[in-house]
Structure 1
Amino acid sequence: MQLDLDALRAAAGIGVAGNFAGHLEQAGEAADFVGVGQAGVEAPKGIFPWYLPGSDTFLGAFPLAHDRVELPASDEPLNLQIEPEVGVLCDVAYAADGSVTGLAPVAIAAFNDCSIRRPGAAKISHKKNWGAASKGVARAAFAVTDLAPDGPTAGFRLACFLRRGEETSAYGVDSPLPGYSYYGAQLLDWIVDRINHQEGGEATPLEPVGAYLRDVDLPAQVLIGIGATRYTEVGETTFLQAGDEAIVIVYDGAQHTPERVEDAVRRRFEDGLAASVLRQVVVEAAP
């Protein structure tokens, strides 16, 4: 199926922090969550907003693009990294009081939760939305209704590459989707709980996402970035610059091997894969 950006303007954007073992440590963000309670060592740390349709805050700026990442305007160098993720588009069911009663997945797609590394930022969202084209989602998505770890997406995988000039490098570790700490019903039920019960405050980088959804009149859909995978050495140490291409791919491992996917990217044939492919050119901020 195809994802239409105009339609996605009505959907809220939510991310999951710490849903892949080791990513926060590589991103230098583990210390942000020292005081955040968790259900277990492998549990995600919380959820955060990256887009709220109709909000009069910075989160009201629509950040999604299919084809580019626009660097933020800044007088100082900013360290931006690709965050290769699976984006899950869900229909949202609400109770009469505005609490969420369920999330029903309708599609998954390659998603780039591109982030500015800002040590000490008060909230996760402060690293996420700096305006137009600060996020990416693939045009082509897989229609899904079941995310069970042993269900239709059990063999799906997530890969990420950086193309700089003539050099192409693996940026994220090619990983199976069931390799997420939480996946399937466990993940969706946990997100529902966090929407309804997660609180904010000065002592936490998290925010009351459920209250935010009520403030913007309960969007019927949410696009959820369910967490970034581990970086390769290149990904951990290389920040984006104008002219780069960020490539995130969600594919069915029954149709393509990791080696086949990497070879296609190196030959600039990634669009020929039977996959959800997001390719974004990094550009300077608009004047």
Structure 2
Amino acid sequence: MVIGVAGGFAAGAAVATATLACWQRHQQTRFSQKSHPREWAVWARVDRAQKGVVGRNAIRSLCYRFESDEHAEVLAKLLDPWSLDRITFQDFVNNFESVQMMRRAARLKLWHRCCGIGVAGNVAGHMAQAGEADEHGVATTPAAIFSYYMPPTPFVVQDKQADRQRLEHFPVTYAVISFPKIPGACKVQVEPEMGLYADIVYSADRSRVERLVPRRVAAFNDCSIRSLEGASKLSQKKNWGAGSKGISLRSFPIDSFAPGSFVDNLTLVSYVKRDMQVYQYSVNAPVRNYLLFHEPLLEWIVECINSQTDTDKWEEVFPRLKESDYPTSTWIALGAGEYTHWGQQNYLQPADETVIMIYDERIFPDGPSSEELERQFNDLPAPEGIVTLHQTFI
């Protein structure tokens, strides 16, 4: 009888163990990188040790990196309500709306009274590679500028998101690029660029922009739709809502944009990881080799802001600044680098990952090593002399 009872307990334990293992496998399938790619792209920045479990400090650190200290304790308690100091990917997925709310609020705070402007054709041959210009033309200056974000008019309440103008939808993220859900949109490409943060100084009567005062540079992804049915303006291919653009969280502070200053040491490069294989997407490009750079570029941008007209694929810019109640700063995408052969031939696919780097060639004369590149794809902290943007295409 005792043997029978013991055997029954053993059989029951075996069944329970098998059931638990089956449940765990089911949970792993339900909550994985494949099942939740958007959530995973953000989780990877939290679980840098790749243990599958993090504590509250990791959530606090996520908030601190976004300069969103006020959300740190609230979000930590929400993801760990029983104070176990144990947060899994499933917990993260179940509360992802709250994580997104924090990230959106933080981004908008960092972009308060800030607009987005891009420089088109500031690298010889890029416009032709992108299908936006005659490949036989030889450019000596950029083609024009465009807006990719204009903040909504302040102090005006808008009841519906749909009421916002196209360029008022905030497009910048840090972890993902969202495939455009616009009818007729296809062929999406990374556009690796240097982003320049500058103060905007207006004339006393606010009838024009007088000058731009450069403050910081960052790695920027001016992701673009190459084929969009019915698009007549370049900006229509630039902002399709949240997840259209990307910018590195870290940036280099600068106090000069003059020849011989720190910016002359910076080089831009980008990579795409597809099916675990890493490909170089753009060539290593010293930013001093832009067609226009230093003060002449800033002066040219100011002139375009003030005088560019609604012609061909270009649009007026200053009237949009006025409608946005004169933003006080701007992130300017200074122009995309030249694609490698693989980069020119390959458009983004779901689950592709991209890394855009700006590095100091004095510290990395041969560029970043393959080991450092892998570290950046794993969202590990970048060393001094590198700023990195890592995004997943969803």
Amino acid paired to 2:269: A
Show the 5 A alignment for 1:41-80. 41-54=139-152, 56-74=164-182, 78-80=186-188
Matched, 1:184 2:294: yes
Matched, 1:255 2:363: yes
Q: Residue deviations 1:14-38, cap 9 Å, x none? A: 0000000111111111149x8xxxx
- Per the alignment, residue 279 of structure 1 pairs with 390
Within 2, Cα distance between the matches of 1:77 and 1:63?
16
SS in 2 for 1:93: strand
Show the 5 A alignment for 1:106-121. 106-118=215-227, 121=231
Amino acid paired to 2:192: P
Within 2, Cα distance between the matches of 1:75 and 1:206?
22
Unaligned runs of 5+ in 1: 35-39
Counterparts in 2 of 1:75 and 1:2: CA distance versus 1, 3 Å: closer
Within 2, Cα distance between the matches of 1:70 and 1:271?
24
Show the 5 A alignment for 1:1-287. 5=107, 6-31=109-134, 41-54=139-152, 56-74=164-182, 78-95=186-203, 96-118=205-227, 121-201=231-311, 204-266=312-374, 268=377, 271-274=381-384, 275-283=386-394
- Of stretches 212-221 and 266-275 in structure 1, the one that deviates more from structure 2 is 266-275
Within 1, Cα distance between the matches of 2:353 and 2:134?
30
Amino acid paired to 1:198: Q
TM-score using structure 1 length: 0.89
Contact in 2 for aligned 1:111/1:136 (Cα 8 Å): yes
- Per the alignment, residue 37 of structure 1 pairs with none
Contact in 1 for aligned 2:355/2:390 (Cα 8 Å): yes
Within 2, Cα distance between the matches of 1:76 and 1:206?
21
Which is richer in strand?
1
Within 2, Cα distance between the matches of 1:189 and 1:241?
38
Within 1, Cα distance between the matches of 2:349 and 2:371?
24
Within 2, Cα distance between the matches of 1:51 and 1:123?
14
Within 2, Cα distance between the matches of 1:199 and 1:262?
45
Q: Residue deviations 1:182-224, cap 9 Å, x none? A: 01101000000000011113xx111110111111111000110
- Of stretches 83-92 and 152-161 in structure 1, the one that deviates more from structure 2 is 152-161
Bigger RCO (CA 8 Å, 6+ sep): 1
Contact in 1 for aligned 2:273/2:354 (Cα 8 Å): yes
Deviation at 1:149, TM superposition (A): 3.1
Amino acid paired to 1:278: L
Within 2, Cα distance between the matches of 1:181 and 1:209?
22
Deviation at 1:258, TM superposition (A): 3.8
SS in 2 for 1:24: helix
Contact in 2 for aligned 1:14/1:222 (Cα 8 Å): yes
Within 2, Cα distance between the matches of 1:76 and 1:131?
16
SS in 1 for 2:368: helix
SS in 2 for 1:187: helix
Calculate the aligned-residue CA RMSD, in Å: 2.2
SS in 2 for 1:174: strand
Within 2, Cα distance between the matches of 1:23 and 1:263?
29
SS in 2 for 1:117: strand
Within 2, Cα distance between the matches of 1:223 and 1:168?
29
Contact in 2 for aligned 1:2/1:139 (Cα 8 Å): yes
SS in 2 for 1:212: helix
Contact in 1 for aligned 2:184/2:227 (Cα 8 Å): no
Amino acid paired to 1:245: E
Contact in 2 for aligned 1:108/1:141 (Cα 8 Å): yes
Percent identity, please: 34
Unaligned runs of 5+ in 2: 1-64, 68-105, 154-163
Which is richer in helix?
2
SS in 2 for 1:234: helix
- Of stretches 3-12 and 129-138 in structure 1, the one that deviates more from structure 2 is 3-12
Within 1, Cα distance between the matches of 2:144 and 2:239?
18
Contact in 2 for aligned 1:59/1:129 (Cα 8 Å): yes
